[in-house]
Amino acid sequence: MSRQIDPSKPLSDDDRRYLLAHGEDAVVARFDERFPEDAPEEPEEFAPGMSGTGDGTGEDTEDPGYEEWSADDLRAEIDERNEQSGRTTKISKAGSRADMAARLREDDRQG
């Protein structure tokens, strides 16, 4: 991970979104156990930022909120994806934060 998170403090909303977007659900759960007063009251499957079909097909996905990420975090995510073995096309880091966020969303859609 390229983000520094202080383990002695509750998670900020931005840190929570970042960790969940990077598949670190277990880390979020540990923070929620350690700081229960700061854990979200809504169940994870109904938390803000969730999107999907909601039709029971299991295709619900979390909105990672790329627009709120810093340019450095977006570049780090793009670098991580570009390093995946077997990837034939690379995601460009050129342009604004909005441009990079749009490219990540498109990559998410393509699977």
Place of tokens 């994870």: 44
| 44 band by pLDDT with thresholds 50, 70 and 90 | very low
pLDDT of residue 57: 42
Pairing of strands 61-62, 50-51: antiparallel
Put simply, whether the predicted model's pTM sits higher than 0.75 gets the answer no
Distance CA 29, CA 110 (A): 29
pLDDT in tens, 15-38: 888 888 887 888 888 888 888 776
Q: What does pLDDT average to over the chain? A: 76
Mean pLDDT of 55-77: 73
pLDDT of residue 1: 44
The domains of the chain are located at 1-64, 66-111
